[in-house]
Every structure is written in C-alpha cells, then in structure tokens.
Amino acid sequence: MADLHVPSGTPVPGPSVRPRRLRATPALRRMVAETTFEARQLVLPLFVREGLDEPRPIDSMPGVVQHTRDSAKRAVAEAAELGLGGVMLFGIPERKDASGSGGLDPAGILNVAIADAVAEVGEDLTVMSDLCLDEFTDHGHCGVLDERGRVDNDATLAVYAEMARAQADAGVHMVGPSGMMDGQVAVIRDALDVVGHPDVSILAYSAKYSSAFYGPFREAVDSSLSGDRRTYQQDPANALEGVREALLDVEQGADIVMVKPAMAYLDVVRQVRDAVDVPVAAYNISGEYAMVEAAAAHGWIDREAAILETLTSIRRAGADIILTYWAAEAARLRR
C-alpha cells in the first residue's frame, strides 16, 4: 500500500474525547467538581487551659493556642458565626492525679468550658467534648492503671461512665470517647440514658491508631505520658481491625464513628465509610497540621492550596465530617 500523503496545511484530526474541556475555566471546574466540603462539615478542636490570663501559643502548631475561658467563648462564637458543624473541647487542668479526677469534677476546666460554650451558642453549634482521661492523669494514659502499671480496661469504663454524666450535666451535645477501651460506647450510652440524657449523642473514636503524628497534640495538652499507648490504640498495619472496631461501636450505640489520624489512613476512612450506615468522621490531626504549616513557612508549598487539597482529600476518601485545626480558616476560604 502506498504511503498516505497528507497535504501541507491539512488539519489532522485530534482525539474526539477531551476531558480537558471540562477543566477550561474556574466556572466549569466548580460545576463538575465531584467532591466538595462545606463549613457545616468541619469541626474545630479547641484547647482550654485552667489558670491562664491570656491565650498561650502552641509552638509546634503555629496559629493554635491554649485558650482561656474567655478566649474559648470568643472562638466558639466565631465558629457558630462561620457556620461550622461544631467544636471539640479539650481541657487542660492545673493539677493531675492518678485517677484523672479533674475530668469528673463539675467545676473542672473541661466541664466549665462545656457550660461556657453552650451558654454562648445554645443549639446554633454542636458542642462536643473529649471523653478521655489522658489530659487529667499524671501518668498520661487514657485510663486508670492496675497494680502492674497497665491500663485497666474495665475499671476505666466505670470512670468513663461518670465522666459522661458530668459532661452531659454541663450541657454537652455530643461526647467523644477517645480512649479506645473495649466496650466504652456501650457503657457510656447506658450511663447517659439511665440518668436522663438520651439526647446526648456519641462520636466514637472507633479506629484510633497508635500514630507518630500525635506529637504536637501532646504539647497542646501538656501530656504527662511516658511510654506509649500501643496496647489499646490500634496498630498502624491493620485496616480490617479498624472496620471491625467501627462496626462494634455502631452495634453499641455510636451515632458517628471516626478514623484518627486522617491523612495516613484514607484507605481506612473509605473502608469504614463502605461498611457502616452512620456518618463517618476523620480527624486531621496535629502532626498533619504541623507538617503543612512548617513546609508553608519555608515557602516550599502554597499554604492555602495545601489546606484545601488536604481537606478535599479527606472528604473524597469518604469522611462526612472533618475535625481540623483549619476549620475556621477553611470556612472563610470557602465563602
């Protein structure tokens, strides 16, 4: 067969399918975007420290502070004005002990911070609280210890029940048990129901991994931890275990299940989302935040673009709700 000769200047047909057509303008890209997030899907973690006269910056988390009660109330009010889904409160007491008694004290910093927040915003914002002992124990573990220095699962459950009642009495809308004790959701649900708080919901930290990315958080809460939490937090190698934990929590009464951390566990977020029939949250944690902030401070990445890309990736993996220290800023960027 003779060679096909194409006269000079004759148009050469290109591909008929051109996905790039839908990327041509910002308006087109917005119109066909498969994944978005809104302010209502973001939850802002807040650290409230007892005894402060003014907010204290957290060195490893630029832009994040330990709040006074007054500055926390202002942050909560701003969160409501921005249309965020909620705030997650963490308390930092002046004194700690082996049993974490400050977490049960109605006058303890976390419980008064809950009351402050609810008084500030009522039902315009979901006020959530961390239900764990690690901020309140002098050994830094998430539960009480037995005579051999190990976390006693069942003894800890009894304390969690009391802590749940204290937080509910303070007015919290949703508790977030984060200690990874077996059976914690069932015990907390029963404790809340028995004392007349059936409407307080549970955000279960279902797949919480023993992660290297928690370091800045431990500065944020002045953690007293020595050793690690590998005997109760999950092994980073295991995804199916995370799904199993989520299914157990749903069975026990969890209203929302969560995967923590988010970025290194996006596959687990997707598997959990596919397995459960309740909303799924993911916690964009302190180390993930700090890495982006550090790289941006060096001029290595575009900070705002990296924030939006990070949060979009977590939504794309299947999270309905994202806990993130960028919540307020991201909501403003989305306006």
The residues assigned a catalytic role are 208, 260
- 3-state SS, one letter per residue, for the chain: CCCCCCCCCCCCCCCCCCHHHHHCCHHHHHHHCCCCCCHHHEEEEEEEECCCCCCEECCCCCCCEEECHHHHHHHHHHHHHHCCCEEEEEEECCCCECCCHHHCCCCCHHHHHHHHHHHHHCCCCEEEEEECCCCCECCCCCCCECCCCCECHHHHHHHHHHHHHHHHHHCCCEEEECCCCCCHHHHHHHHHHHCCCCCCEEEEEEEEECCHHHHHHHHHCCCCCCCCCCCCCECCCCCHHHHHHHHHHHHHCCCEEEEECCHHHHHHHHHHHHHCCCCEEEEECHHHHHHHHHHHHCCCCCHHHHHHHHHHHHHHHCCCEEEECCHHHHHHHHC
Rounded Cα–Cα distance for residues 303 and 9 (Å): 46
Strand partners for 61: none
Half-sphere exposure of 63 (CA within 13 A, CB side): 16
